[in-house]
């Protein structure tokens, strides 16, 4: 039990108190859920990897979005993390492809451009198949800094980029934005360069 509580406490935003409650909930009263959860976790940890093209989560080399012939491969939407991509997909209006950075440019936290999948984005754009890039990082200081940095890189390559409209609350994390807000942010994009 102590080990389980300790492992739960290592999860983001789960203090020792919640970890303890969760551990007892599963082991004392919901043993079946505990077992199916364990199986699901193992399956995901063993089989889910990153898509070779966009770095979204996938069980195959290419994710379901990159494999979909109905998507427009000339438009890329750049997001910070998989949860942001999922939020945009829930709105169901965007028909292009994605590029997941897996990080933001955060010099104050010692995270430089090399800490995200930026070189991979540049390489992808260099193939010439991409016509437009939408930078959909959250409206935080780091999200803004990343958007400007990405736009400058793309501008040097002659690719136009835009940023989601700032309709989202300042400091807003994309993954928590509701669908109407996200949809509006998409249609009211601002050109970066």
Contacts of 183 (CB under 8 A, 6+ apart): 91, 93
| Shortest CB 165 distance to Zn ion, Å | 25
Contact 54, 102 (CB under 8 A): no
- Work out how close the CB of 67 gets to Zn ion at its nearest, in angstroms, rounded to a whole number: 8
Q: Which is nearer to Zn ion, 7 or 60 (CB)?
A: 60
| Identity of the residue, 38 or 48, whose beta carbon is nearer to Zn ion in the bound complex | 48
Told to check if 130 binds Zn ion by CB under 5 A, we report no
3-state secondary structure of 158: coil
Helix, strand, or coil here: 76? Answer: strand
Nearer to Zn ion by C-beta: 54 or 147? 54
User: Which residue, among 176, 162, 14, has the nearest Cα to 86 in the 3D structure?
Assistant: 176
Q: How far is the CB of 30 from Zn ion (least distance, A)?
A: 35
**What's the min distance (Å) between Cβ of 52 and Zn ion?**
7
- C-beta of residue 136 within 8 angstroms of C-beta of residue 84: yes
Q: Which is nearer to Zn ion, 59 or 179 (CB)?
A: 59
Hey, what are 129's tokens? Answer: 């198949």
CB of residue 134 to Zn ion, shortest distance in Å: 16
Instruction: Give me 108's structure tokens.
Output: 């104050």
Name the residue nearer to Zn ion (CB basis): 63 or 168: 63
Q: Which residue has the tokens 């040097």?
A: 156
Question: Nearer Cβ to Zn ion, position 34 or 57?
Answer: 57
> Rule CB under 5 A: which of 60-89 touch Zn ion?
63, 66
CB of 177 to Zn ion, least distance (A): 22
Which 8-state DSSP code applies to residue 111?
Answer: B
The number of CA neighbours under 13 Å toward the Cβ of 73 is: 13
List binders of Zn ion among 20-59 (CB under 5 A). Answer: 51, 53-54, 56
Residues engaged in binding Zn ion (CB under 5 A): 51, 53-54, 56, 63, 66
């Amino acid at each position: 039990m102590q080990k389980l509580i300790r492992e739960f406490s290592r999860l983001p935003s789960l203090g020792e108190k919640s970890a303890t409650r969760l551990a007892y909930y599963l082991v004392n009263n919901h043993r079946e859920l505990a077992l199916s959860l364990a199986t699901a976790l193992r399956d995901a940890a063993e089989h889910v990897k990153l898509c070779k093209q966009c770095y979204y989560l996938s069980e195959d080399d290419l994710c379901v979005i990159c494999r979909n012939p109905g998507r427009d491969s000339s438009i890329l939407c750049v997001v910070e993390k998989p949860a942001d991509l999922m939020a945009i997909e829930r709105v169901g209006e965007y028909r292009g492809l994605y590029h997941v950075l897996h990080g933001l440019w955060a010099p104050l936290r010692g995270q430089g451009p090399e800490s995200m999948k930026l070189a991979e984005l540049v390489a992808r754009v260099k193939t010439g198949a991409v016509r437009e890039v939408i930078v959909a990082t959250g409206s935080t200081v780091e999200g803004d800094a990343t958007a400007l940095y990405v736009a400058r890189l793309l501008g040097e390559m002659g690719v136009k980029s835009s940023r989601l409209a700032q309709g989202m609350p300042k400091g807003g994390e994309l993954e928590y934005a509701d669908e109407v807000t996200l949809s509006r942010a998409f249609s009211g994009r601002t050109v970066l360069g």
